[in-house]
A and B are shown apart, each in its own frame.
Chain A
C-alpha cells in the first residue's frame, strides 16, 4: 500500500511540527535505528514520518566498556556511551544511503562542551539532505564540572542558543527525564530558540547480578527504556505540552498503536519509537497502520483532530 497516495476515505496523517511537515507522526528514536540502513532490509523507510539517526559528536566516539546492556522487567538498561562515527564520517559514509529515500532525515547530536555543540551544528547546517536536527542535551559539560546540560535550565539555554546561532534548520531539542521539574527545562529551551521538543530520553537506572554482586552494566548505571518507562514518559509529555507553545514529540516505551495514541491524545504532535524496534523491526509500520485504523473507527478524518484531545 502506498502511504503517500491519499485516497478519499483515508484519514489524513500529515502533521506539521513547527514547519517540519511529516507524512505521518511516527519516527524512530535516536540510537535504536542505527543510521537507517541497518533496518532497511526489514521495512520501507519511505513509509516512516522521518528517520532519526544515532547521536553524533564532533569526533568519533568508541563508547563504554561491556557489558553495555541488561534486560529488566519490561525494559532494558543501556550504557552504550554514545558510540558513533563522528559528524564528518556520517556525512561522508552514512548520509548518502538516506538520500535514496524521500523521508526527511533528522540528525541527532550531542557535545561535551558548548563549542562542540556549536561546531557540529555548523557542519550540519550546510548539508541539504539533513532536514532537521535533534539536540541531545542529556550529556555532561566537561568544562563545567560535568553538570549535565539538560538538568540545569541555564546550561540547557546556553547549549540551545549556541546551536541556534549556527543552524538554519528546524531545531528539535530532546529532554532528559532525570530532573525534578521538566517544565522548567522545557521553558528554558523554548526561550533559547528551539522549534520543537522531544521527550523523554532514558531514565537512569541500575541492576545488580546477585550471584557476582556486581552491577550488570560495566558503567554501573544506565538508561532505562522500553514499556517500563511509558507512564513516566506520558506524564512528562503531558506536562511539557501544557508548559510550552512549541510542538512536542512523545518518546518512551511506545510498542503498540494504542501506546502512540495515548501520547497523541495528551498533545504530542508526533511520536518516536525506540526499544520496540529491537523487538519487532516492523513495529513502526504496525503503529502507523494502527493509528490510521483507529481514526477510521473513531470516524475522524484528520489526525490533528485527535492530537491534544485529552478530556480533563
Chain B
C-alpha cells in the first residue's frame, strides 16, 4: 500500500468510450491481489477534488529501456468515460503525471482449487476478474460469462482466452455472441456444472439477478461492489453498504473500501442493496 507519484506509459481507447491506461508502478505487483483497487488522482490541480476508484485489471513487466536497468513494472486499469474525472483521464497521454494509491481493499477469496469457477462480468465489471482468472486458470476449470448491451461493451475477452479460460459472450442486442442477458447463460452453465462457485462484478441489477440465481441453487457467490468513495482507506466511512441483518432501527453497515469491495453474498443485505442511488445505477453496462 503506497501512494505512487508516477507517469502514464500508455492510454488508449480500446472500444468506443472505454480506455486502457498503463501506469508505471514499481513494486506494485508483489502486493496486488485479485479484486483489489486503486485510488487515482486525475490531475495535480483541482477540480476534481477527490480521487477516483478503479479496479486493478492486471500488472506486468515491460523490458528495460536499456541494458543493466530493471524491467519496467506496470499496472493496467480499464475505464469507461462517464463523467468529469474519466473525461480528463481520457485526454491524458504517455508521460503525463498521475498519482495512484494502492493496492487497496479486500479482494476475492480464490477458494478451493478443486471446484470449478464461473466468473460473471457485466461491461466494465470485467476488470477485477482478470487477475482472478490469472491466479485460478492453472489450478482449476474457469469459465467467463461476459455480458454487455452491445458489442462495444465486450472487452478484453481474447486476453482471458489466452489464459485458458472458456469464454461465453452475450449482448442485449445480439451484436456479439449470444443475444440476451448474461444471467440466462449463467442459469444454463449452472444446470450443466452445478458444483461451480461464482464470482461476479457489474451493474447492480445484474448483480441482484446473479445473487437470486446463486441463492436459489445454493451456489457460493462473491461479488465486487461499487460505492461512492472519498478516501479509499477506511477513514471517511462514506462508502458503506448494507450488511446482512440491516434494519432502519439497528443499521448494519460494511465499509466497502476496507471490508470490501469484494464481499461474500451472504454478508450483504440484498433486499435493500440496490434501492438507493449512488451505487452504479446501471450506468456502465
Contacts and interface: CB of A to CB of B under 8 A. Distances in A.
Contacts of B137: none
B240 to A, nearest CB: 6
A227 B227 CA distance: 24
B193 to A, nearest CB: 36
A29 to B, nearest CB: 11
Q: Is the interface of B mostly helix, strand, loop or mixed?
A: loop
Interface stretch (B107-115, B151-159, B247-255): B247-255
A6 interface: no
Interface in A191-233: 209, 212, 214, 216, 218, 226-227
A71 B252 contact: no
Given A66-B227, A66-B240, A71 B50 contact: yes
B65 interface: no
Contact of A62 (B233, B253, B258): B253
A38 B39 CA distance: 15
Contacts of A69: 228-230, 236, 238-239
A44 interface: no
Contact of B231 (A212, A227, A277): A277
Contact of B51 (A62, A73, A279): A279
Contacts of B277: 67, 209, 212, 214
Contact of B3 (A68, A214, A275, A280): A280
Contacts of B76: none
Contacts of A63: 237, 240, 251, 253
Contacts of A73: 47
Interface residues of A, number: 40
- Listed residue (B233, B236, B258) with the most chain A CB atoms within 10 angstroms of its CB: B236
B50 A279 contact: yes
Contact of B49 (A39, A66, A75, A218): A75
Contacts of A255: 46
B177 interface: no
- Listed residue (A34, A74, A218) with the most chain B CB atoms within 10 angstroms of its CB: A34
A226 B237 contact: no
A227 B1 CA distance: 27
A218 B279 CA distance: 12
A78 interface: yes
Contacts of B252: 62
A254 interface: no
Given A42-B3, A62-B253, A277 B235 contact: yes
Contacts of B239: 69
B237 to A, nearest CB: 5
A88 to B, nearest CB: 18
A63 B101 CA distance: 26
Interface string B195-233: 000000000000000000000000000000001111111
Contacts of B264: none
A67 B46 contact: no
Contact of A80 (B48, B51, B236, B242): B236
B276 interface: yes
Contacts of B50: 71, 76, 278-279
Contacts of B46: 74, 227, 255, 279
A255 B44 CA distance: 12
B238 A80 contact: yes
A146 interface: no
B48 A71 contact: yes
A106 B155 CA distance: 49
A33 interface: yes
A93 B49 CA distance: 32
B227 to A, nearest CB: 7
Given A73-B47, A75-B49, A279-B50, A218 B276 contact: yes
Nearest to B232: A278
6 contacts: A32-B235, A62-B253, A67-B228, A68-B238, A78-B236, A255-B46
Interface of A: 31-34, 38-39, 41-42, 54, 62-63, 65-71, 73-76, 78, 80, 83, 209, 212, 214, 216, 218, 226-227, 255, 275, 277-282
List 6 A-B pairs, minimum CB-CB distance, nearest first. Answer: A67-B278, A69-B238, A34-B235, A62-B251, A38-B235, A278-B231
Interface of B: 1-3, 41, 46-51, 99, 101, 227-242, 250-253, 258, 276-278
